Chain A
Amino acid sequence: DIQMTQSPSSLSASVGDRVTITCRASQGIRNDLGWYQQKPGKAPKHLIYATSSLQSGVPSRFSGSGSGTEFTLTISSLEPEDFATYYCLQHNSYPRTFGQGTKVEIK
Chain B
Amino acid sequence: SAVISQKPSRDICQRGTSLTIQCQVDSQVTMMFWYRQQPGQSLTLIATANQGSEATYESGFVIDKFPISRPNLTFSTLTVSNMSPEDSSIYLCSVITPGQYGYTFGSGTRLTVV
Real binding pair: no
